[in-house]
Amino acid sequence: MNKQLTCIECPMGCLIEVEVENGAVKSVKGNTCLRGKMYAENEVICPLRVVTSTVKTVSGKMVSVKTDKPVRKSEIFEVMKKINSLTLDRNVVIGDVILANIDRDANLVATQNYND
């Protein structure tokens, strides 16, 4: 089976063709750099995404957050369930861990400062 992707790793936006056989990548064509090859291999076998969202606070304000590493695309709904169940009850600065290991080794971190 062949899949075509547009690479999003750099501004070049290479059109990449990936040949998959028996659940494994057989070949990657069209990339101009190693990052594109790695992106294509991951995208067809186990796509990953950084999740961005907001967490509510006890004061009713919302604080923007994101995962510090990409998570498996198949786990985004579970990650969002965890995020939606949180209520922040402390001050945070950008980069503070809100929830460790939200998915495997990815942490949920603040992307804005919050002082109640």
Domain ranges of the chain: 2-45, 52-110
At 116, is the pLDDT very low, low, confident or very high (cuts 50, 70, 90)?
confident
CATH architecture of 52-110: Roll (3.10)
Alpha carbon distances (Å) from 112 to 9, 16, 39, 92: 25, 36, 29, 8
Residue 80 has pLDDT above 90, yes or no: yes
Average pLDDT over residues 57-73: 97
Per-residue pLDDT tens digits for 81-92: 999 999 999 999
Give strand pairing partners of 18.
3, 28
Reference 51, options 68, 39, 38, 37; nearest CA is 68
